[in-house]
């Protein structure tokens, strides 16, 4: 009798366990922002750290990025302009990150030799900062 009841309850228990288990296998990374559809925001976050952007800028979500030389990059996705010169868009931000001196000669923003792919991913991350 007990064996029969266990057999009946087994499918219910397995189903409950599957529904309550963490779904790490189903975790999907967030989509890139519309402004940079081919960008990888997670990679961009790491690149911001590796290029040392945080030595001049405060960048939310990037450990140690608490510089005060350049403007804080908080809520970057809501900004209207980049460096007061360019309309804030994915292509313009990538252009700025790759060659700030060409956009605004004499700017304090240095040319860091950022590649087009790296600029795309950095822009993708910055546009997630709403």
Question: Across the chain, what does the average pLDDT equal?
Answer: 85
Greatest mean pLDDT among 25-34, 36-45, 60-69 lies in: 36-45
Q: Which residues of 103-123 are buried (b: 16+ CB within 10 A; e: fewer)?
A: beeebebeeeebeeebbbbbb
Interval 44-78: pLDDT, tens:
999 999 999 999 999 998 999 999 999 999 999 99
Supply the CATH number for residue 81's domain.
2.60.40.420
Residues spanned by the domain of 81: 30-126
Eight-state DSSP code of residue 101: H
Picking from 83, 126, 118, 74, the residue whose alpha carbon sits closest to that of residue 101 is 83
- For residue 7, the number of C-alpha atoms closer than 13 Å in the C-beta half-sphere is 4
Asked if residue 22 belongs to a domain, the reply is no
**Residue 12 forms part of a structural domain:** no
Over range 72-86, report the average pLDDT. Answer: 93
pTM of this structure: 0.77
| Total domains present in the chain | 1
What is the mean predicted confidence (pLDDT) over 119-126?
96
């Amino acid at each position: 009798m007990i064996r029969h009841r266990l057999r009946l309850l087994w499918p219910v228990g397995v189903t409950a366990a599957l529904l309550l288990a963490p779904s790490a296998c189903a975790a999907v990374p967030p989509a890139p922002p519309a402004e940079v559809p081919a960008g990888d925001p997670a990679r961009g976050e790491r690149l911001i750290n590796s290029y040392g952007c945080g030595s001049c800028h405060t960048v939310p979500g990037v450990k140690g990025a608490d510089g005060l030389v350049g403007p804080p990059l908080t809520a970057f996705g809501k900004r209207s302009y980049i460096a007061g010169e360019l309309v804030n868009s994915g292509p313009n931000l990538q252009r700025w990150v790759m060659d700030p001196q060409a956009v605004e000669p004499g700017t304090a923003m240095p040319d860091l030799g950022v590649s087009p792919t790296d600029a795309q991913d950095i822009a993708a991350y910055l546009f997630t900062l709403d």
